[in-house]
Amino acid sequence: MNTYQAVRDAMSIALAKDDNAVVFGEDVAFGGVFRCTMGLAEEFGRERVFNTPLTEQGIAGFGIGLAMMGHTAIAEIQFADYIFPAFDQLVNEAAKIRYRSGGSFNVGGLTIRTPTMSVGHGGLYHSQSPEGFFMGASGLKIVIPRSPLQAKGLLLASIRDPNPVIFMEPKILYRSSVEQVPVDDFALPLGKAETLIPGSDLTVLTWGTPVYNSENAIKLLQNPPEVLDALIPKSLRQAKVELIDLRSILPWDVDHVVESVNRTGRLVIVHEAGMTAGAGAEISAEVQKRCFLKLEAPVKRVAGWDVPNALQYEKFHMPDSIRILDAIMETLSY
Positions annotated as catalytic residues are: 56, 126
Helix/strand/coil for 76: strand
101 Cβ neighbours under 8 A, 6+ residues apart: none
- β-strands 141-143, 248-250 pairing: antiparallel
317 Cβ neighbours under 8 A, 6+ residues apart: 118, 304, 305, 307, 309, 310
The closest of 57, 172, 79 to 126, measured between CA atoms, is 79
Which amino acid would we find at residue 126?
A: H
137 Cβ neighbours under 8 A, 6+ residues apart: 90, 91, 95, 250
Half-sphere exposure of residue 105: CA atoms within 13 angstroms, side-chain side: 16
Q: How far apart are the first and last CA of the chain?
A: 42
Q: Residue 110's beta-bridge partner residues?
A: 73
Q: Is the peptide bond before 251 cis (omega within 30 degrees of 0)?
A: yes
Compute the distance between CA of residue 248 and CA of residue 162 in angstroms, rounded to an integer.
15
